[in-house]
Amino acid sequence: MPAERPAILMCPADYYGIEYEINPWMSRGRQSDPAIARGQWLALHDLLISLGADIHLMQPAPGLPDLVFTANAGLVWEQTVFLSRFRHPARQGETPLDDAWFQQHGFRTVELPEDWSFEGAGDALFCGETLFAGYLIRSDAAAMQWVGSEIGCRVIPMQLVDDRYYHLDTCFCPLDDETAICWLPAFDEYGQRALREHIPQLIEVAPEEAARFCCNAVVIGRDVVLNTGCPQLEATLAERGFRPHATPLDEFIKAGGSAKCLTLRLDGEDAARWPQ
Ligand code: ARG
């Protein structure tokens, strides 16, 4: 259950940059501006605090430019964290640092038993008691099923078919236990059907706003924090009783990330009802 003050893990953008290319958004020829990136990160951090969040910080590390994307540290469930096992070697050095942080802060960490890939909350999101799981590009379906069986929850695996939307959180965002934002073309037909069947209120976004990472939003109660340049989704959210807050995150889109990727909810997303 969400605590009174939502707890969110972030990692400062001190060593963030485009040092390798592991998704179509990344190009070493299109560097991020370090000062602007740090400013955008800080504005997000301050906005989340103003919305009532308690921000916990991880120490950034040179040579690990994507450590800033804490959503990929693991999947948090109660006091347990299922640690990520990154598909790409470039990010594998993050896991020992994530593991140490969680252990130092009272979490039990679990490694996957097999050689599967699994990219944490980037690919696994609860909506109600169900774990919606994106697989193929970064995470393996078998890893998701294993995590679900450890938790004792239903898993709905959904295949991601568009390399630009390589993590589930780039194209799907639960807002509460029956409402979610999504960019359906990122899923195969079965995945699209599963979303339509299992989520009573599905908000489909416009293609140009999907490409501004509008689905990569941070939800705190009825407040929804997202990148700028997504006016249609902002209007829809407002109509449905949510409060959208836009903050510029273009420097992070250059790495294929936005608001949600830069955060990891430590006390359970508002949309999650963890099985007891
Ligand atoms: N450059 C990072 C990668 O490709 C971005 C990760 C974004 N994180 C997320 N949860 N979508 O792995």
Closest CA to 155 of 163, 171, 143: 143
Is 217 near ligand 1, meaning CB less than 6 Å away?
no
Q: For residue range 53-85, list pLDDT tens digits in order.
A: 999 999 999 999 999 999 999 999 999 999 999
272 class by beta-carbon count within 10 Å (0-12 exposed, 13-18 middle, 19+ buried): buried
Q: What is the pLDDT of residue 258?
A: 98
Q: How far is the C-alpha of 235 from the C-alpha of 250, rounded, in Å? A: 21
Q: Which residues are designated catalytic?
A: 167, 261
How far, in Å, is the centroid of ligand 1 from the Cα of 32? Answer: 15
Q: For residue range 205-256, list pLDDT tens digits in order.
A: 999 999 999 999 999 999 999 999 999 999 999 999 999 999 999 999 999 9
Which atom of ligand 1 sits closest to the CA of residue 65?
A: 1
Of all protein residues, whose CA lies closest to atom 9 belonging to ligand 1?
Answer: 261
Q: Indicate the fold that domain 7-265 takes in CATH.
A: L-arginine/glycine Amidinotransferase; Chain A (3.75.10)
CA–centroid distance for 176 within its chain: 15
pLDDT greater than 50 at residue 2:
no
Closest CA to 90 of 139, 165, 164, 20: 20
How far, in Å, is the centroid of ligand 1 from the Cα of 92? Answer: 13
The SS3 of residue 3 is: coil
How far, in Å, is the centroid of ligand 1 from the Cα of 276? Answer: 31
Q: What is the pLDDT of residue 275?
A: 82
How far, in Å, is the centroid of ligand 1 from the Cα of 28? Answer: 15
Domain ranges of the chain: 7-265
**Confidence at 1, pLDDT banded by 50, 70, 90:** very low
pLDDT greater than 70 at residue 3:
no
Which atom of ligand 1 sits closest to the CA of residue 123?
A: 10
pLDDT greater than 80 at residue 276:
no
Is 122 near ligand 1, meaning CB less than 6 Å away?
yes
How far, in Å, is the centroid of ligand 1 from the Cα of 69? Answer: 6
Instruction: Let me know: does 41 contact 13? Beta carbons within 8 Å.
Output: yes
Which atom of ligand 1 sits closest to the CA of residue 119?
A: 10
Probe ligand 1: pick from 25, 66, 84, max atoms within 8 Å of CB?
Answer: 66
Which atom of ligand 1 sits closest to the CA of residue 166?
A: 11
For residue 5, what are its two tokens? 């003050």
